Amino acid sequence: MTTSSAPGKIILFGEHAVVYGRPALAVPVTQVQATATVSENSRGGIRVEAPNINLSSDLSRLAPDHPLAAVINSVFSALSISSPSDCTVYIQSTIPVAAGLWSGAAVSVAVIRALSEFLGQPLPNERVSTLAYEAEKFHHGTPSGIDNTVITYARPVYFIKSKPIEIFSVGKPFTLVIGDTGIPAPTKESVSDVRRLWETDKTRWGKVFDEIEKIVHEAKKKIESGEWKGIGSLMDQNHALLQELTVSSVELDRLVAAGRRSGALGAKLSGGGRGGNMIALVEKENAPAVAEAFRSAGAKRTIVTQVG
Ligand code: PMV
């Protein structure tokens, strides 16, 4: 039997613009995990069990473009296995689906690692990330690759599409409160809406992406030099640009405002937007008060996480 776990993630700065070649910063969130366990199956065939999504099926009965079938089959073809041994792939996740912490990439990474190890050919990180990226296309349509990268390496990453990954350092640890609106919001939809917007006026929206890029560069410098308090106002600026890109929502804006009112140093949505999660930068001792403010403003769940 083999088991592998992969963390959740949050995008600190640069979501959406990253799809258009601009950089973004993302960090793992280890409080939430997806876990895959692969074991021998005496009944024969390949079983896929994912109780979180009420799935219990033979692999052969899943549509080939089902994200789990796609990721499992991609491991077999990467390892050139034409008749795989009987096994059960059991998947569990504490990461909310379609909520900006992204369960899809974490599930893919955990499955790829546990299955390749079960088959006696554990894959290196680079292959794991590439296969997870292929699976991401089923979830996201045109993913930038940031999710599979940060989750595979489980380290803070400065990410530019199609460029080698760069791990960034955190000069001084800082605290974030994550607020979950509880509203499922498929990233595929917000990404394709932003693409439609961009196509209406590429110069105008290109400038918005450039402004986001400047914020990402400034934020990286501040995080690396330990001036973490300075990233609060950069979060506010990034959120305003995401509002312009139409990917915020009433619920996200309500949580962002509640965070700022309760003493957060800055706040923004994180990920695809429209629903899902937002983040607020806080002084560590103020985290419980901000989390409470989020819950009063409608958050279904809050997580306090330390970066670095
Ligand atoms: O919704 P999430 O947390 O998976 O974030 C997606 C980030 C986007 O920039 C909106 C899309 C992408 O593929 O980079």
Q: How far is the CA of 15 from the centre of ligand 1 (A)?
A: 6
Q: Which amino acid, residue 131?
A: L
Q: Is 97 left (phi over 0), alpha (psi -120 to 50) or beta?
A: beta
Helices (H) and strands (E) in the chain, counts: 9, 11
Q: Are residues 228 and 290 in the same domain?
A: yes
Q: For residue 19, what pLDDT is reported? A: 95
* Contact 271 CB / ligand 1 (< 6 Å): yes
Inter-residue contact 139 to 104 (CB < 8 Å): yes
Q: How far is the CA of 60 from the centre of ligand 1 (A)?
A: 30
Mean pLDDT of the 191-211 span: 97
Is the predicted pLDDT of residue 100 greater than 60, yes or no?
no
Please state the pTM of the whole predicted model: 0.91
Q: Are residues 119 and 263 in the same domain?
A: no
Q: Are residues 156 and 195 in the same domain?
A: no
Q: How far is the CA of 264 from the centre of ligand 1 (A)?
A: 24
Ligand 1 pocket test: pick from 20, 136, 146 the residue with the most ligand atoms within 8 Å of its Cβ. 146
Taking the CA of residue 143 as reference, the ligand 1 atom at the shortest distance is 13
Q: Are residues 120 and 103 in the same domain?
A: yes
Report the alpha-carbon distance of residue 179 to residue 249 in Å, rounded: 14
Residue range(s) defining the domain that contains residue 45: 2-166
Domain edge (last residue) among 111, 142, 166: 166
Active site residues: 147
Q: Using one digit for the tens of pLDDT, what is the confidence trace for 1-32?
A: 999 999 999 999 999 999 999 999 999 998 88
Mean pLDDT of the 154-178 span: 95
N- to C-terminal Cα distance for the chain? 33
Q: For tokens 């929502």, name the residue.
A: 249
Domain edge (last residue) among 116, 146, 166: 166
Q: How far is the CA of 85 from the centre of ligand 1 (A)?
A: 35
Distance of alpha carbon 99 from the chain centroid: 9
Mean pLDDT of the 186-190 span: 88
Report the alpha-carbon distance of residue 19 to residue 32 in Å, rounded: 25
The CATH number of whichever domain residue 259 belongs to comes to 3.30.70.890
* Contact 23 CB / ligand 1 (< 6 Å): no
Mean pLDDT of the chain: 94
Q: For residue 43, what pLDDT is reported? A: 86
The CATH number of whichever domain residue 53 belongs to comes to 3.30.230.10
Q: Are residues 276 and 193 in the same domain?
A: yes
CA distance to 62, 118, 121, 234, per residue, from 2 (Å) = 23, 6, 12, 43
Q: For residue 93, what pLDDT is reported? A: 87
Report the alpha-carbon distance of residue 215 to residue 208 in Å, rounded: 11
Where are the extended beta strands (E) located within the chain? 2-13, 24-40, 46-50, 55-58, 87-93, 157-159, 166-167, 174-180, 266-270, 277-282, 301-307
| Closest CA to ligand 1's atom 13 | 143
Q: Are residues 186 and 286 in the same domain?
A: yes
Q: Using one digit for the tens of pLDDT, what is the confidence trace for 42-54?
A: 888 999 999 888 8
Q: How far is the CA of 191 from the centre of ligand 1 (A)?
A: 8
* Contact 139 CB / ligand 1 (< 6 Å): no
Q: Are residues 96 and 160 in the same domain?
A: yes
Domain edge (last residue) among 138, 166, 194: 166
Q: For residue 96, what pLDDT is reported? A: 62
Report the alpha-carbon distance of residue 126 to residue 114 in Å, rounded: 15
* Contact 104 CB / ligand 1 (< 6 Å): no
Report the alpha-carbon distance of residue 54 to residue 68 in Å, rounded: 13
* Contact 151 CB / ligand 1 (< 6 Å): no
* Contact 187 CB / ligand 1 (< 6 Å): yes
Q: For residue 126, what pLDDT is reported? A: 95
Q: For residue 66, what pLDDT is reported? A: 87
DSSP element (H, E) containing 253: helix 250-261
Q: Which residues contact 145 (CB under 8 A, 6 or more apart)?
A: 129, 133, 136, 159, 161, 162
